[in-house]
Amino acid sequence: MKIRCPICKSITTWEENPWRPFCSERCRLIDLGAWASGEYRIPGEEINKGEIADGHIQEDSREEDSGGH
């Protein structure tokens, strides 16, 4: 099966390709570096620094006020 490398867009094969879905180790490392540097982000709620204590997120007190519903 022919696939397109998500980094450089060159065409490569899926079978017998140790770096799939990338075309080479270079493209695989570029992608890994993008994740490590924060270029790729998964959307979510912002966490305020005041909600974090000793590396743990504080429980939301609003759930307790509403009876957990």
At 10-49, the pLDDT tens digits run 999 999 999 999 999 999 999 999 999 988 888 888 777 6
- Looking at residue 30, its pLDDT comes to 96
Residue 49 lies in a domain: no
Per-residue buried b or exposed e for 15-46, using 16+ beta carbons within 10 Å of the residue's own CB? eeeeeeebbbeebbeebeeeeeeeeeeeeeee
Asked if the structure places residue 66 within a domain, the reply is no
Residue numbers of the domain that contains 2:
1-40
Q: What is the pTM of this model?
A: 0.58
Q: Is residue 27 part of a domain?
A: yes
Domain of 3, CATH number, reads 3.30.50.10
What is the SS3 assignment for 45? coil
Tell me the mean pLDDT in the region 47-57: 67
The number of distinct structural domains making up the chain is 1
d(CA 33, CA 46): 23
For residue 12, what is the enclosing H or E element? strand 11-13
For 65, the enclosing helix (H) or strand (E) is helix 61-65
14 DSSP assignment: S
